[in-house]
């Protein structure tokens, strides 16, 4: 399953991308994370549905100095498989 996730709140400048990468890798997921110009963070992630559920729960927690106010999740078709979990700049 592939999901595109948009997170709003205090999610930039608090280590959220590095946290997301660490959590994604710990679950064996593939994807990427990046900051958006409007202050949100975007995540594209692919993996088993049950594992993704746990990943999403961890994103709600975020790193210590973050705060997630809103999360928008969109299910997407899997075109090319993703490899690894990276931070995009």
Catalytic residues: 17, 35
Strand, coil or helix: 1: coil
User: 53 — phi, psi (to 5°)?
Assistant: -60, -45
Unique residue bearing structure tokens 């690894």: 84
pLDDT digits (tens, 9 = 90+) for 21-59: 999 999 999 999 999 999 999 999 999 999 999 999 999
Residue 79 banded pLDDT, cuts 50, 70, 90:
confident
Left, alpha or beta for 6 (phi > 0: left; psi -120 to 50: alpha)? beta
84 pLDDT higher than 90: yes
Report whether pLDDT(80) > 90: no
Mean pLDDT, rounded, of the chain: 97
| Secondary-structure class of domain 2-77 per CATH | alpha beta
Would you call 18 helix, strand, or coil by DSSP? helix
CA–chain centroid gap for 40, Å, is 11
- 3-state SS, residue 84: coil
Percent of the chain with pLDDT over 90: 96
Task: Write down the domain spans for the chain.
Answer: 2-77
């Amino acid at each position: 399953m592939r999901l595109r996730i948009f997170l709003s709140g205090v999610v930039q400048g608090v280590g959220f991308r590095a946290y997301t990468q660490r959590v994604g890798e710990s679950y064996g997921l593939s994807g990427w994370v990046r900051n958006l110009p409007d202050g949100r963070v975007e995540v594209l992630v692919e993996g088993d549905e049950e594992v993704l559920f746990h990943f999403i729960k961890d994103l709600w927690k975020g790193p210590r100095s973050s705060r997630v106010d809103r999360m928008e999740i969109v299910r997407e078709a899997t075109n090319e498989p993703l490899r690894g979990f990276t931070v995009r700049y």
